[in-house]
Amino acid sequence: MNILLLGHGKTGSVVAEVARQRRHQVRVLSGKENVHARALTHDKLRDVEIVLDFTTPNAVLENIEACVASRKNMLVGTTGWHSALPKVRELVEAAGTGFLYGANFSIGVNIFLETARAAAAALQQGYFGQIMERHHAAKKDAPSGTAVVLQQLMSEVGGAELEITSFREGDAAGLHEIILDSPNDTIRLEHDAKSRQGFAEGAIRAAEWLSGKSGFFDFKDVWRVL
């Protein structure tokens, strides 16, 4: 595929490397080259098959609007913008393009989310819960998108909204932990990313899956078929 990658930060750099390893053509645009999505014109997107966004919450919506206007399929790994999902879905469906987003493109994290869904039953059995997440110091949003998804699913299944504690320090790739505590015992569920490789591999596999498709997709619903 001919991929345009928006963002060349910690995760974006690994995404570009994995894409090239899988024999895709990759062009990278940094934030400085694409202020207010000005580089995403019809002419400059002409030969692009899919756009991957790993930028920042304050840039992603303008990028989405520009890419959808040019009817380009798009995968978004940026978090911190999901309150605008209904608006984006309308744009994508009106354009007839393909769009895939995710709070986290790691297969391991998505298995962790399924495990957390099962464990949420503890909240209806007298357990008290909390969520902790730790990421690198440069991460823009807090809490992380994954922590927010964890909070939502625990609330949906367990009926209680858990407090999230966020840490931003060093070069941590991403750690998420759920603690469920009772007078009798403690349940701990943890996913600790060793590197950003798992996120990048999941994103490129998802982009390959999205190629040629139209529709609005959440990674948590499609990762099993990649």
Annotated catalytic, 135? yes
Q: What contacts 44, CB < 8 A, 6 or more positions away?
A: none
The catalytically annotated residue of 135, 176, 191, 220 is: 135
Between the alpha carbon of residue 92 and those of residues 17, 43, 75, 123, 218, the distances in Å are 28, 20, 12, 37, 13
Give the helix, strand, coil percentages of the chain, each rounded to 5: 40, 25, 35
Dist. CA 134–CA 118, nearest whole Å: 23
Q: What is the C-alpha to C-alpha distance for residues 131 and 150, in angstroms, rounded to an integer? A: 8
What is the rounded CA–CA span in Å between residue 137 and residue 170?
5
Task: Name the catalytic one among 8, 24, 72, 139.
Answer: 139
| Residue 139: active-site member | yes
Looking at the annotation, which residues are catalytic?
Answer: 135, 139
